[in-house]
């Protein structure tokens, strides 16, 4: 385990890659107002180095999903800023934001979000079709083989196991070659074998395909695949571990659980 600054990417990643794929500065997110106000994020500053795999952890309600959604342009900040590469998100209109998400960001969600009437292959290539882009066939073949989906391409989601559906969702995220892949509990619905497969693929996305991966997870074993694990509590970054074991992660989580989630009420 190596320690690192809370504010930036790991020193190793910075040296290796030297580029920041995404960055939040003094990011604040407040929901509601008055008696029902919730401070979901309270001034979070963090950078994600290009080619780095980061896991975001923390107790329920600590702000993990909110942070990921703001980083991915799926939610807007109340204050502070978010950049994807060198693009500041708050300066973008709806169309530009849609284009940026489409061109540079991939998503893998717990609920898979596959279209039930389409085959695995059609699901994988759907975003490219919507964007009016030609699928890079060679890259498609590489991704399909790497994910072990070759003999499942003609199946619909209902004909696939949960792990296979999640691999299809990963293929869909990889095939457009986004700079950065966000996963919101990407292994939340999977057994340990399928989880391992999906995490290995996300690991390969950074190691082999030089993409940046950021996941939210509750699972210390899943987090141990990451280069870096950052911990949120009460809307703030409180700890960071570099290349930790699952046991290291578990110890930190044990201490944070019970620390509470985002605080409700005026402050
Ligand atoms: N749309 C919303 N309106 C009001 N409050 C919200 C909204 N979305 C999230 N919150 C609140 O913001 C806080 C942070 O929520 P968030 O979903 O980011 O936490 P989390 O760490 O991802 O939790 P979990 O691990 O349970 O998924 C919580 O108190 C939540 O109730």
pLDDT, one tens digit per residue, over 97-155 is: 988 988 889 888 776 789 999 999 999 999 888 888 888 898 899 889 888 899 999 99
| Residue whose CA lies nearest to ligand 1 atom number 17 | 65
Label residue 29 by pLDDT band (50, 70, 90).
very high
Rg of the chain, C-alpha, whole Å? 18
* Ligand 1 lined by 209 (C-beta under 6 Å): no
pTM score, whole prediction:
0.86
For the cut 70, the answer to whether the pLDDT of residue 72 exceeds it is yes
Label residue 258 by pLDDT band (50, 70, 90).
low
Label residue 176 by pLDDT band (50, 70, 90).
confident
Q: Does 141 or 265 have the greater pLDDT score?
A: 141
Query: Rounded CA gap, 96 and 107, in Å?
Result: 18
* Ligand 1 lined by 60 (C-beta under 6 Å): yes
> Could you tell me if 204 and 225 are in contact, meaning their C-beta atoms sit under 8 angstroms apart?
no
What is residue 224's predicted lDDT score, i.e. its pLDDT?
Answer: 95
> Could you tell me if 224 and 238 are in contact, meaning their C-beta atoms sit under 8 angstroms apart?
no
φ, ψ of residue 208 to 5 degrees: the values are: -100, -35
What tokens does 34 get?
């008055």
- Average of pLDDT values for 58-68? 94
Residues 6 or more apart from 49 whose CB is under 8 A from it? 9, 10, 13, 14, 16, 17, 19, 20, 21, 212
Distances (CA, A) of 7 to 27, 28, 115, 261: 12, 15, 38, 21
| Residue whose CA lies nearest to ligand 1 atom number 7 | 31
The superfamily (CATH) of domain 11-256 is P-loop containing nucleotide triphosphate hydrolases (3.40.50.300)
For the cut 90, the answer to whether the pLDDT of residue 45 exceeds it is yes
Strand-pair category, 228-233 with 236-242:
antiparallel
* Ligand 1 lined by 63 (C-beta under 6 Å): yes
pLDDT > 90 in the chain, percent: 52
> Could you tell me if 168 and 123 are in contact, meaning their C-beta atoms sit under 8 angstroms apart?
yes
* Ligand 1 lined by 261 (C-beta under 6 Å): yes
Label residue 6 by pLDDT band (50, 70, 90).
very low
Length in residues, the chain: 267
Mean pLDDT for the chain? 86
**Å from CA of 264 to ligand 1 middle:** 11
| ipTM attached to this prediction | 0.97
| Residue whose CA lies nearest to ligand 1 atom number 18 | 63
* Ligand 1 lined by 187 (C-beta under 6 Å): no
Query: In 184-207, which positions are buried (b, 16+ CB within 10 angstroms) versus exposed (e)?
Result: bbbbbbbeeebbbbbbebbebbbe
Mutation probe of ligand 1 site: the residue of 28, 30, 40 with most atoms within 8 A of C-beta? 40
Label residue 221 by pLDDT band (50, 70, 90).
very high
* Ligand 1 lined by 186 (C-beta under 6 Å): no
Most confident of 22-31, 81-90, 95-104, 248-257: 22-31
What is residue 3's predicted lDDT score, i.e. its pLDDT?
Answer: 41
For the cut 80, the answer to whether the pLDDT of residue 5 exceeds it is no
CB atoms within 10 A of CB 254: 10
For the cut 70, the answer to whether the pLDDT of residue 13 exceeds it is no
């Amino acid at each position: 385990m190596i320690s690192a600054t809370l504010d930036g990417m790991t020193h190793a990643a910075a040296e290796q890659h030297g580029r920041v794929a995404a960055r939040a500065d003094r990011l604040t997110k407040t929901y509601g107002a008055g008696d029902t106000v919730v401070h979901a994020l309270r001034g979070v500053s963090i950078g994600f180095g290009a080619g780095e795999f980061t896991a975001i952890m923390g107790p329920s309600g600590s702000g993990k999903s909110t942070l990921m959604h703001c980083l991915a342009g799926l939610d807007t900040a109340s204050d502070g800023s978010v950049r994807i590469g060198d693009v500041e998100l708050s300066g973008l209109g709806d169309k530009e934001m849609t284009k940026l998400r489409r061109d540079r960001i991939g998503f893998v969600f717990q609920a898979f979000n596959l279209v039930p009437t389409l085959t695995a292959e059609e699901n994988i290539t759907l975003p490219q079709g919507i964007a009016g882009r030609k699928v890079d066939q060679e890259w498609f073949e590489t991704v399909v083989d790497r994910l072990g989906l070759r003999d499942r391409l003609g199946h619909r989601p209902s004909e696939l196991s949960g792990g296979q559906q999640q691999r299809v969702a990963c293929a869909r995220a990889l095939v457009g070659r986004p700079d950065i892949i966000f996963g919101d509990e990407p292994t939340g619905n999977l057994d340990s074998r399928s989880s391992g497969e999906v995490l290995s693929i996300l690991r390969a996305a950074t190691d082999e395909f030089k993409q940046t991966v950021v996941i939210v997870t509750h699972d210390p074993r899943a987090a141990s695949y990451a280069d870096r694990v950052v911990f949120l509590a009460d809307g703030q970054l409180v700890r960071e571990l570099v290349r930790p074991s699952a046991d290291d992660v578990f110890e930190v989580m044990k201490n944070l659980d019970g620390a509470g989630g985002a605080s409700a009420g005026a402050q």
